[in-house]
């Protein structure tokens, strides 16, 4: 399993839909109103892996968000990696600490993904990237140092992230260099 987590409206459903755009058999709903994902959704990709979509936290978070997510993270079976989504326009927010603290506490390996990069100016994007890199270096143990930058609208970074998911779930065959 891999799990996707982030604030409501961070672009999580759009990203999951973009990741699965080559797998039309996996049906992903995208909300018109923020905070649509109130429950955990499991997307099974054949026999290869399952992507777990967590409810969004923050302003629209369901009351039982922490309990639900904590219970899952503690019970996790075969969770290979967690993807923590951060909005590329607004950067890391105080509420993201809810997720960071939980992942750090349970010693779960995770990766940060900066979303909606098509909407951020280069200056804003650079500021947010540098802030996150500094934060990861100073405050985290379990976070992968490489940040992934994506846009679900322009599909930038989506293929690389798809390959990374395939890699961490053991589905990326290694090719011998010729």
Binding site for ligand GDP (CB under 6 A): 6, 8-14, 30-31, 34, 36-37, 56, 115-116, 118-119, 151-153
| Closest approach of ligand GDP to the CB of residue 114, in Å | 10
The C-alpha torsion from 159 through 115 and 74 to 140, rounded to 10°, is: 100
Cα–Cα distances in angstroms (integers) from residue 10 to residues 74, 107, 117, 177, in the given order: 24, 24, 11, 38
Instruction: Specify the residue, 105 or 154, whose C-beta has the smaller distance to ligand GDP.
Output: 154
User: Is residue 115 a contact partner of residue 11, using CB atoms and an 8 Å limit?
Assistant: yes
Instruction: Specify the residue, 19 or 165, whose C-beta has the smaller distance to ligand GDP.
Output: 19
| Closest approach of ligand GDP to the CB of residue 73, in Å | 19
User: Is residue 6 a contact partner of residue 85, using CB atoms and an 8 Å limit?
Assistant: yes
Instruction: Specify the residue, 40 or 171, whose C-beta has the smaller distance to ligand GDP.
Output: 40
Name the 3-class secondary structure at 26: coil
| Closest approach of ligand GDP to the CB of residue 119, in Å | 4
SS (HEC) of 49-67: EEEEECCCECCCCCCCHHH
Among all residues, whose Cβ is closest to ligand GDP? 11
Q: Quick one: tokens of 52?
A: 């777990």
| Closest approach of ligand GDP to the CB of residue 35, in Å | 6
| Closest approach of ligand GDP to the CB of residue 37, in Å | 6
Instruction: Specify the residue, 77 or 122, whose C-beta has the smaller distance to ligand GDP.
Output: 122
Helix, strand, coil share (%) of the chain residues, nearest 5:
35, 20, 45
Instruction: Specify the residue, 30 or 40, whose C-beta has the smaller distance to ligand GDP.
Output: 30
Residue 112 main-chain phi, psi, to 5 deg? -95, 140
Instruction: Specify the residue, 74 or 93, whose C-beta has the smaller distance to ligand GDP.
Output: 93
| Closest approach of ligand GDP to the CB of residue 176, in Å | 35
């Amino acid at each position: 399993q891999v799990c996707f987590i982030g604030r409501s409206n961070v672009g999580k459903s759009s990203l999951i839909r973009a990741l699965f755009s080559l797998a039309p058999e996996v049906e992903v709903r995208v909300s018109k109103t923020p905070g649509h994902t109130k429950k955990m959704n499991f997307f099974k990709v054949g026999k290869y892996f399952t992507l777990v979509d967590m409810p969004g936290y923050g302003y629209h978070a369901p009351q039982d968000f922490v309990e639900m997510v904590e219970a899952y993270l503690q019970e996790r079976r075969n969770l290979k990696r967690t993807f923590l989504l951060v909005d590329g326009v607004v950067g890391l927010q105080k509420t993201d600490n809810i997720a960071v603290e939980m992942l750090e506490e349970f010693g779960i390996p995770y990766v940060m993904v900066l979303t909606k990069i098509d909407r951020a100016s280069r200056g804003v994007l650079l500021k947010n990237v540098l802030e996150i890199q500094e934060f990861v270096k100073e405050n985290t143990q379990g976070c992968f140092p490489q940040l992934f930058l994506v846009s679900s609208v322009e599909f930038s970074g989506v293929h690389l992230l798809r390959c990374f998911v395939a890699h961490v779930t053991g589905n990326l065959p290694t090719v011998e260099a010729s």
